[in-house]
Amino acid sequence: MSMLQFFIAVDVTVVNIALPSIGDEFGVDARALTWVVVGYTVTGGGLLMLGGRLGDLLGRRRTLLAGTTLFGAASLLAGLAPSFGWLVGARLLQGAGEAIALPAAMATIVLMFPEGPRRSRALSVWAAVASCGLVLGLVLSGIITAQLGWRWVFLVSVPFILVVLVAALGLVERDRPVSRGAGSMDVPGAVLLTAGPLLFTLGVIEAGEPGAPAWVAPAALVGAVLAGLAFVRVEMRSPDPLLPLSFFAHRGRVAANLTTMLLSGALSTSFLLFTFYLQDRLGIGPLGAGLTMLPLAVALIVFATLVPRLLGRWGARACVLAGLGLTAAAMVVIATVAAVDAGAAPTVLAMLPIAAGMGLGLVGLQYVAVSGVTDDDAGTASGVQRAADQLGGSAGVAVFVGIGFAPALHGGDPFVVATALAGLGLLVGALVAWRMPGPATAVPAQEG
């Protein structure tokens, strides 16, 4: 399960440093290249709820195998893409495969370990693997692009996905579906949940694009709002909704998922700011930029070994608040380094609190978000948590980076503006986490 999580996380960031090479081969500009990243993350995040529901209805093992197969096939298609449109389509399919496989994988882990120290340790490993995948995606992107070419950033995962499939067939036990029948699938809800974030991202990107038609951004943003309202209406009327409104009765889960969105938005923004600063401001090549991210990966591994013990000693809410505070401190460092035009070395000072913030914050939030789950709703709760993480990261990049790097909207230093917006989001997240009820304050002590 963790190997699958790793390569899914890698594919979120592995294209970042490879984007200029992709643009050169297909002759597309930076605005079009945005969809290579956003198409994957938003489609995956929007369909995660449907993937979680499929796991509950059809069985986690069956859903896991189907999603993993689709993800691997789409990775192969992306690596062999003959045109830019083919590549974007393959990225959309990758997102769909992730959405089907990932909630089933997380639900399998959650139900494998009882609530308490064992689950906190398992979720710490899961979150650490995801975090390392995100960061190593940046490192691998530079190395692979420089040595093998951009196509191999997709092809390298295919043999490992085959290993996951074989291992899952032998190691994951068959489970009993909750119910059967196509009528139980809330497809309209899934379409609206995907369309809303896509339209929102399009609106934010077009709003800061010089020369873009004036009507596109407002129309896209209005469409995003309408899609959100329609989603709520569909869920209220559906006999078997994608996201039952009763889910929101658990205040701890709602608070955890909202805070996850805000924290993930800041973390994803920090990754892009690191990339932009190293390559655009300092002129470091893909290989050098990738290697500069290694301290972040090492720090994540270190904190992964500490988080389970801290969860048992402090409780989930304290870990979440510490993670938010450390991430905010990293944003201050990023803004300061950019404002004084410092070199590459000072960026490492920002990477260390980012690693701590990811480890402490996301693991604590995952623990609360899946607290009290049963066989009937483990997939749904896992799908919501993963959707909050991924859509929060996509929305954060669209808003924080989109506004920050659109001088027409403010005229200030893009790095300072982007970090200030991310810091504001973290402040809201801290206020929500402070009032987070439930097991956020009572994680059993970690066993030795």
Domains contained in the chain, CATH given: 2-174+240-441 (1.20.1250.20)
- Rounded Cα distance, 95 and 38, in Å: 10
Distance of CA 188 to the CA centre of its chain: 23
Q: Residue 212: its pLDDT value, please?
A: 66
- Rounded Cα distance, 422 and 61, in Å: 38
The sign of the torsion formed by the CA atoms of 222, 223, 224, 225 equals positive
The pTM assigned to this predicted structure is: 0.76
What DSSP element (H or E) covers 223? helix 216-237
* Residue ranges, the chain, pLDDT below 50: 180-183, 440-448
Q: Residue 442: its pLDDT value, please?
A: 44
Q: What's the CA angle centered on 80, arms 76 and 86, to 5 degrees?
A: 95
Tens of pLDDT, residues 99-125: 899 888 888 887 788 777 787 778 777
Q: How far apart are the first and last CA of the chain?
A: 24
**CA distances for 352 relative to 108, 144, 277, angstroms:** 31, 25, 17
Tens of pLDDT, residues 21-32: 888 899 876 666
- 250 near 372, Cβ under 8 Å? yes
